């Protein structure tokens, strides 16, 4: 099975020419590792159409979508707009979006809008902190169950879940998460899916790791952490770092 690398470009690059240049670099990596890795590039919406046209070597996705499809949503992006711009995927529930106020109900509505347009959600889940009593498991359980509530059973086979431990990412990270911790949570996420939708459905969902990784530890999260790929943030904007990370997954 191929590893999945979903590239979250966040709020960069600023210029369309730089976005196209980066897209061409991703295309080169996608062609080089086509037997082992599937790439999805998720640029800012202003670059989405240009990136989608720049290369057919990889798939493209959005970073956000409106929860409501009515037109009176100033500044937001509808699922229809994403589809028309070439998006096949869209990130929802990212910790940065949740920090801005999105909650499980909003994420579920976003997923419903994406499914209506046949766009595959890359749904992020993860605990904000860990406690010794294991209450953090209920936080992730609520997130997963909310995602499942918005998905028709047939759409589960295409769902991508990104496990991102919020406490282990970004400049305020407490520490780096371990592959063992990743494995624990992925097993738990699959159990929640199995309890709701059945074991067969649980095994059909792709689960990637959305924590901070580099070429030194990325493969370990696949071999020991049970992840099927990665949701990569800042490293996806650096071609050399991304290339090294991709190479590490197959060695």
- Residue from 47, 94, 102, 230 carrying the catalytic annotation: 94
What is the 8-class DSSP label of residue 150?
T
Please confirm, yes or no, whether 47 is among the known catalytic residues.
no
Please confirm, yes or no, whether 127 is among the known catalytic residues.
no
* Closest by Cα among 66, 161, 160, 61 to 112: 66
Report how far residue 180's alpha carbon sits from residue 211's, in angstroms, rounded to the nearest whole number: 13
Bridge partners for 61 per DSSP: 89
Distance of alpha carbon 150 from the chain centroid: 17
Report how far residue 3's alpha carbon sits from residue 100's, in angstroms, rounded to the nearest whole number: 30
User: Do 93 and 125 touch, CB atoms closer than 8 A?
Assistant: yes
Token pair, residue 177, equals 């998460």
Token pair, residue 108, equals 């579920």
Burial of 145 (0-12, 13-18, 19+ CB in 10 A): middle
User: Do 158 and 175 touch, CB atoms closer than 8 A?
Assistant: no
* Closest by Cα among 71, 69, 48, 75 to 59: 48
- Residue from 96, 164, 215, 230 carrying the catalytic annotation: 164
Report how far residue 173's alpha carbon sits from residue 126's, in angstroms, rounded to the nearest whole number: 14
Cα torsion angle, 236, 96, 162, 83, sign: negative
Which sequence positions are flagged as catalytic? Answer: 94, 164
């Amino acid at each position: 099975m191929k590893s999945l690398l979903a590239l979250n470009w966040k709020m960069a690059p600023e210029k369309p020419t730089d976005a196209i240049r980066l897209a061409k670099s991703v295309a080169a990596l996608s062609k080089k590792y086509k037997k082992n890795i599937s790439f999805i590039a998720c640029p800012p919406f202003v670059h989405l159409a240009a990136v989608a046209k720049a290369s057919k070597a990889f798939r493209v996705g959005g970073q956000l979508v409106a929860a409501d499809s009515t037109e009176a949503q100033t500044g937001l992006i509808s699922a229809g707009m994403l589809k028309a711009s070439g998006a096949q995927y869209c990130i929802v529930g990212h910790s940065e979006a949740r920090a801005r106020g999105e909650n499980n109900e909003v994420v579920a509505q976003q997923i419903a809008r994406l499914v209506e347009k046949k766009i595959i959600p890359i749904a992020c889940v993860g605990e904000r902190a860990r406690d010794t009593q294991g209450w953090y498991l209920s936080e992730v359980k609520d997130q997963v169950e909310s995602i499942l509530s918005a998905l028709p059973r047939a759409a589960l086979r295409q769902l991508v879940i990104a496990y991102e431990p919020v406490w282990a990412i970004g400049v305020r990270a407490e520490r780096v998460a371990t592959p063992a911790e990743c494995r624990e949570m992925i097993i738990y996420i699959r159990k929640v899916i199995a309890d709701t939708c059945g074991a067969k459905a649980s095994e059909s969902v792709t689960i990637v790791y959305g924590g901070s990784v580099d070429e030194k530890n990325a493969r370990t999260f696949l071999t020991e952490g049970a992840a099927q790929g990665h949701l990569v943030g800042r490293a996806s904007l650096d071609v050399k770092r991304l290339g090294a990370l991709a190479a590490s997954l197959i060695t």
